[in-house]
Structure 1
Amino acid sequence: MRAFGRLTRRRFFKITGGLATLIAGLVRPHPAATQEVDYFEGTDFVGKTRAGRHREFYINYWQPMRRIDPATWTLTLDGLTERPATLSIKDLKTFPAKSMDSRLKCVECWSARATWTGFPFSELEKLAPPKPEAVGVLFHCADEYKEYLSLDALRHARTLLVTHMNNAPLTDEHGFPLRVICPFKYGYKNPKAILRMEYVDRVTYGTWSKIGPYSPDGTILPGTDHPLEFGKQPRRIPGGEIFDY
């Protein structure tokens, strides 16, 4: 058997360095394993993803859902209203369009900015006016998500019912064909893929407020934000809508 000979300082670092490289190669994840995959791309379904083009604007859904068929989609306005109504996508196109630039802030600490186009809540109030005892709307969405917004929040000048994002129709991922953008509220208060708007007479806990530590109010609090387009570099925010960047 061949002797190893004297263990010099140089041989020691050569041996231990080789071992370290071998161990690192064993424990380091393969590059493909560290990348998020959009499992819904090219399927009939949509769900939470942060892969591909969605790395710049994360997609959250309560649960995976089948993509909405524009030919059969309707919006139901009911609950505590004098005149229940049902609208189609064609009906949405008759409302006067308004655009605004705003940042969507998530309770997960990330945010992203976009240009949104839609119409104010007042257009729907004209068709289905709330009864005097109504204080807010409970939204029912295609992924079985539910969220509540007060009439005051919906009537706010910075709140829109949105049909377009960045000058293009909403994608399935971003809530086609209709979503709410309420930029002074956290993302979970911005329901999307809306099917029904129900007038209610009391503050109602939405899906996340029922199961998580999220308030039914959802106004953005002072703290730290990690905007996606700035590499998630932390920025302090004073609370409310983010206007500084």
Structure 2
Amino acid sequence: MRLDYFLAHSTGLSRKDVKQLISRGAVAVDGEARPRANTRLHPGQAVWLHGEPVQLPGHRYLMLHKPQGVVCSTDDPDHRTVLDLLPGAERPGLHAAGRLDLDTTGLVLLTSDGQWSHRLTAPGQRCAKRYRVTCADPVTEADLQLLREGIALRGEDRPTLPAAAESLGVRSLRLTLHEGRYHQVKRMLAALGNKVVALHREQIGEIALDPALAPGQYRALTDHEVASIAPPAS
């Protein structure tokens, strides 16, 4: 995180005021006086203001209802990002814990906690992710059974892990995965000779998208939701 973002978020001051403090020599990083406002801070570095240590408030955890046309990155020259949907004061230090494609909608989790994010995204954790899928062609019971058994994807040596698959209609299904390969849902349906025309993520682990959130809206996670992404047993 940039030094000026860090100080603005931790003190409640505007970035303009923070930059003035930095330029006047009121700020030090690891004992070094007069750092630059755009200095990148690394984990464990100490920041001092007027001789007193400064710390960020506790980690933040948000859920966002991602609309189409928005990317899950912190910066993009061509598209709005998930951070662009938040007020400026909310953005510093946050990142998306996992990604959705540009045209995919639904649940995105944002956090400042790298360890918590890792528990969501690390392949070995096998965190369940549930999607509602709409296809161009009918989805048969035989298709659902193949999804449950694992699908051989083009260009990969091993099949997908068994998925939970249930029909929601002639051309729609609910699919729960325990891994996150590149464009996995679309590739799985393509391997069955079908095409995904709409994809919506409903749930990650035990955290379900709040039905009260319209596309583009967000809220803080509850303590229970945060705790549901538990560290592995020792």
TM-score surpassing 0.5?
Answer: no
Q: Normalising to structure 2: TM-score of the pair?
A: 0.28
Q: Normalising to structure 1: TM-score of the pair?
A: 0.28
